[in-house]
A and B are shown apart, each in its own frame.
Chain A
């Protein structure tokens, strides 16, 4: 029987595996994809220091480190169920069952869709799909496209597409409908963008963001937001234009763009047809906790963390003995935080298996490292992430009293 089965070979899973292997635990890491690294593989962005965060490089390093310790990494394998047995967990995959003393669910996040009419056409893809095609497979997703949904993630990926020589018309909001939520609301989108404006290369935005912080200034800025959008790296970003519909018979041929008021209301008669052959939809990320549910793990809804998260504490323990979580499944944050969380999970699992206090110091240090990494983050997916985290830990305390 394995000491631990780790589901997900992303930064959290690989970091946890490395810690466990360093202390000679019997570890198996499982991932559905044929390469390890998870969503790290597609990441590519410039840090404020000027250095490039190269996800492929990071993933390769983490994988080599795990492999150097003879970690059993099984790629191209899917887990469809985890079952609690008398004194073990049965991890059911499409190629057999693996019994384990403990499991670490590090399955990351999934993308929330921002549906608009015509989004099922070939050529429409999630923004994450474009990232993977571009940086992992080095395939151009199309000749000319448009990004629907303006947020931290979509802006970063739009930049990645440009770097790869893929032509983008612009970024715009999705037109407001029942399911679109905040991402169709110009004011709410602007509020979120102002928090990352310090990263913008455009002096206008950097300068403007200092003043934009005050709500009334944001309001005025939105009223006078240029019709041609604010250009970032030569690409217009529209907060007063939205995509109402995607057109085409068998694949994407064009989109219908409309003007919108500061509250998102469509200006009648403002339709414009933009010819594109691909559309990227960006609705945000939500934690993918599905494998924790069949185990009976309780969840808590935290908007700051992106949705429903399995209840856990700072040690990455869930209320179920022997079941751990780490990475984006615990809440949407960066790969760096996921990596540090993976280490915490590793030490927690180690302490549990060895039934000793030998790793308490390392565990404490790893938890501190998570906090530090979070504090130093240049981009925060949500401004109140600390509150979200705290509330989840409190839920854990309440349940395990």
Chain B
């Protein structure tokens, strides 16, 4: 973790000894420092992808890093749409990335559009089987 940290800085000085914090990201445990945001702790481990675009599934990471763009939104301790760039990590935090979602109402598909939740469940199963 330390190669990606700026330990010594000619003006800002040496990074003080920091308390280590352990958290989970998509099932794996990582260590960060107290004061890290989820985004900075993950970037220190070289992890850039924080989410998949809901419609296209393309990978997304931080863009603005100051809470404006919401590209870094993750699910934290079961609460969704938390901005990774603003949220400090704490011990035992469970972070999950958002995945691509189904588009059952998309006009481009060949399957008939489900009209009820029941039909959607069938539609979804059919999709899983055809994979």
Partner of B6, one of A39, A56, A110, A164: A164
Contact A137 B36 (CB under 8 A): yes
- Bound: A111/B37 CA distance, A: 20
A148-167 to B contact mask, C-beta < 8 Å, 1/0: 00000000000000011110
Partner of A128, one of B10, B44, B61, B65: B65
When distances are taken between beta carbons in the complex, the residues of chain A under 8 Å from B40 are: 133, 137, 139
A125 at the interface (CB under 8 A from B): yes
Contact A34 B66 (CB under 8 A): no
Q: Which residue of B lies closest to A57 (CB)?
A: B12
Within 8 A of A (CB), among B59-97: 59-68, 85-88
When distances are taken between beta carbons in the complex, the residues of chain A under 8 Å from B3 are: 140
Within 8 A of A (CB), among B1-24: 3-7, 9-12, 15
When distances are taken between beta carbons in the complex, the residues of chain A under 8 Å from B65 are: 125-126, 128-130, 132-133
Are A54 and B12 CB-contacts (below 8 A) given A140-B5, A164-B6, A251-B48?
yes
A181 at the interface (CB under 8 A from B): no
When distances are taken between beta carbons in the complex, the residues of chain A under 8 Å from B37 are: 34, 137
Partner of B67, one of A32, A134, A138: A32
B49 at the interface (CB under 8 A from A): yes
Contact A251 B49 (CB under 8 A): yes
- Bound: A138/B34 CA distance, A: 12
Contact B12 A56 (CB under 8 A): yes
Contact B63 A129 (CB under 8 A): yes
Contact B11 A52 (CB under 8 A): yes
Contact A110 B4 (CB under 8 A): no
A76 at the interface (CB under 8 A from B): yes
Contact A33 B66 (CB under 8 A): yes
Within 8 A of A (CB), among B35-64: 35-37, 40, 43-44, 48-50, 53, 58-64
- Nearest CB of A to B128, in Å: 24
Of the four ranges (under 10, 10 to 19, 20 to 34, 35 or more), the interface on chain B belongs to 35 or more
Contact B86 A250 (CB under 8 A): no
Stretch at the interface among A115-123, A266-274, A318-326: A115-123
Contact B59 A121 (CB under 8 A): yes
- Bound: A238/B5 CA distance, A: 29
Within 8 A of A (CB), among B79-122: 85-88
When distances are taken between beta carbons in the complex, the residues of chain A under 8 Å from B43 are: 133, 137, 139, 141
- Nearest CB of A to B26, in Å: 14
Within 8 A of B (CB), among A14-45: 32-34, 39, 44
- Nearest CB of B to A138, in Å: 4
A146 at the interface (CB under 8 A from B): no
A309 at the interface (CB under 8 A from B): no
Q: Which residue of A lies closest to B4 (CB)?
A: A140
When distances are taken between beta carbons in the complex, the residues of chain B under 8 Å from A166 are: 6
Which of B12, B44, B49, B64 has the most chain A CB atoms closer than 10 A to its own CB? B12
Contact B88 A163 (CB under 8 A): no
Partner of B66, one of A132, A140, A251: A132
- Nearest CB of B to A120, in Å: 7
Contact B4 A44 (CB under 8 A): no
- Bound: A251/B62 CA distance, A: 12
Contact A250 B59 (CB under 8 A): yes
Contact B64 A122 (CB under 8 A): no
Contact A111 B64 (CB under 8 A): yes
Are A124 and B6 CB-contacts (below 8 A) given A110-B68, A137-B40?
no
Are A122 and B48 CB-contacts (below 8 A) given A111-B64, A128-B66?
yes
Are A163 and B10 CB-contacts (below 8 A) given A122-B49, A250-B49?
yes
Beyond the given A111-B64, A137-B35, please list 13 additional residue pairs across the A-B interface where CB-CB is below 8 A: A32-B86, A76-B86, A110-B64, A122-B59, A123-B48, A123-B61, A125-B63, A129-B66, A129-B85, A132-B85, A140-B4, A250-B59, A251-B59
Chosen A-B contacts, 11 in total, with CB atoms closer than 8 Å, are A76-B87, A120-B58, A123-B48, A128-B64, A133-B43, A138-B5, A139-B5, A140-B5, A141-B43, A164-B6, A251-B49
Question: Footprint of B on A, CB under 8 Å?
Answer: 32-34, 39, 44, 52, 54, 56, 76, 78, 110-111, 120-126, 128-130, 132-135, 137-141, 163-166, 250-251, 288
Question: Footprint of A on B, CB under 8 Å?
Answer: 3-7, 9-12, 15, 35-37, 40, 43-44, 48-50, 53, 58-68, 85-88
